[in-house]
Amino acid sequence: MTRRMILRLMLSFIGTFVSSGPLAWAAEGVISKVAKSSDATCHLKFPAIREETLYWDRPVLKDPTDGDIIDFYGACDYDPLGRESVARQRAQYQFLLRQQRSRD
């Protein structure tokens, strides 16, 4: 009986470990995902990346309650923390900084 319990605990632990890996991190933060039936595109909603983490190795998304939500139409496997998303938000952040400096 105890062997079965130990086996169940081990399988549960392994399942939790595998599901919390990098593949699960990619979907982390996605608030909404609606697939279009006509093609392989989706409408995704996810929070923007926190500005102070844009240049970190592992950027962090803002809290969804902050209200800074991105509406994205594109590939269903789009990663809100992927290279493309980070590059876009870095460019937008730099543009906003330049605008603020030109006002001063």
Whether residue 85 has pLDDT greater than 70: yes
Instruction: Name the maximum alpha-carbon separation found in the chain.
Output: 73
Structural domain includes residue 98: yes
* Residue 92 in domain: yes
In a domain, 20, yes or no: no
Of 14 and 69, the structure prediction assigns the larger pLDDT to: 69
pTM for the whole thing? 0.65
pLDDT mean over 52-77: 92
Report the domain count for the chain: 1
Which residues span the domain enclosing 52? 28-103
Could you read off the pLDDT of 6-60 as tens digits, one per residue? Answer: 656 555 545 544 444 443 434 567 888 888 878 889 999 999 999 999 999 999 9
Q: Is 74 helix (H, G, I), strand (E, B) or coil?
A: strand
- The pLDDT assigned to 40 comes to 80
